[in-house]
Amino acid sequence: MSKPAILALEDGSVFHGIAIGAEGVTSGEVVFNTAMTGYQEILTDPSYTRQIVTLTYPHIGNTGINPEDIESASIAAAGLVIRDLPLMASSFRSRQSLSDYLKSQNVLGIADIDTRRLTRILRDKGAQNGAILAGAEAEGDDAVERALEAAKAFPGLKGMDLAKEVSCKEAYEWTEGEWTLDEGYADTAQSERPYHVVAYDYGVKFNILRMLAARGCRLTVVPAQTPAAEVLAMKPDGVFLANGPGDPEPCDYAIKAIQDVLETDIPVFGICLGHQLLALAAGGKTVKMGHGHHGANHPVQDLDTGTVMITSQNHGFAADEATLPANVRATHRSLFDGTLQGIELTDRPAFSFQGHPEASPGPRDVAPLFDRFVAMMQARR
C-alpha cells in the first residue's frame, strides 16, 4: 500500500504525492536538476547537502542502484522529488531499488507530483525553502499546515557554512582510479605517480579524485579547515580546491588558507565551491543565484578559443565577475545566463572552473582541465 507524502514550499505551494523513501520530516532548499541520467551520483553529491532535489526527467529509478556509482559515502541530499518511480528496475549492475536505497539511508522522497509545475515555480521565483512530510507525518487534518511551517522554518543557505560539516575529519590517501566495464575502479597505488597533490575536501566527489589519480597524481585529501602551513609542509606539487555545499563567503578558514598558498608558486586548481573560494581569496565577491545551475546540459564558452562545451553543473552561488581584481581574468562564461564559469590569476599559477568537469554525471567536454593542472605541475618541475 502506498503511503502519503506532502511537499510544501515557503511561497505556500503544496504538492500531494506518495512516499518513496523513509518516513518523517525533512527540510531544505528545493532545487531542480535537468539531467536525464545519474540520479545516484546526484543524490550522493555532497554539494546537495541541505537541498531537496527535484529531477525534471519523469522516470527515475529505472536502472536501480549499485555500489559503484556513488560520489560520497552516503546520500547527501536532504530529499528527493520525482514524477514517477518505475515498478521495475532493469540493469545488470542493479543491486537495490531506489526506494529501498532511500529507506536504508533514512532519506525522504516523494513521487507522483507534477514536477513540471514545481520546476516552473522554482524557475520563476527562484529556489525555495521547502519541506517533505512522508508516511504518518503526512496524515491528519493539520498535515499541510505542519508542512508549510517546516518549509518556512528552514533558514536558507545564504550565510550557511557547510563545507566544514561535510569534510573529512582526518587526512587520508586516495588511490582509486577511473572505472572500466568488467574491471571496476583501477588501483593506482602501484602505478607511477610523479605528482603529489593535496586536495582540500569541502565536499569532494569521488570521481574528481579518480580523474586526478588516473593522471599520475598521488593524492592526500585533507579536512576543509587544515591551515596552509600544514599543507605546504607536505611539499605538494599542486593544491586542489574541491567542490562542496553552502555559501562560500562564511568559509573564512578556507579563504585564508588559499591566500597563503597563493603566496607560493605551487599550482592551484579549484572546482565549484573551490572556484568560488579562489575568487574570494583573490579579492572578488560571490552572489546567491536565483535558481542556480543544476544539470548536465549547460553550455559554457571558453573565452580564449570560442569553443562551446556542454557541462555538468551544480551550484547556487556564483563568483561575481564585476568584482574581480585586475590580476584575475575570466576564462569561461555560461551561455544560459552569462554568469562567470572560470577564472585564472595572471600573476600566479592558479585557475578554477565552476562546473563539474569529472562527468559524474554529465559530459566529458571539460575533462582537459585536469590535464592542464598536471601540465602546470610538470612546468613547475
Q: Tell me the catalytic residues.
A: 272, 356, 358
At 21, the amino acid letter reads: G
CB 113 within 8 A of CB 6: no
Closest CA relative to residue 7, chosen from 96, 97, 109, 91: 109
- Mind giving me the DSSP string for 192-234? ---EEEEEEESS--HHHHHHHHHTTEEEEEEETT--HHHHHHT
CB 98 within 8 A of CB 60: yes
Beta-carbon contacts of residue 92 (< 8 Å; ≥ 6 apart): none
CB 16 within 8 A of CB 123: no
Q: What's the alpha-carbon Rg for the chain, to the nearest Å?
A: 21
Beta bridge partners of 378: none
Give the span between the Cα atoms of 179 and 288, in whole angstroms: 35
Helix axes 368-380, 206-214, angle to 10 degrees: 50
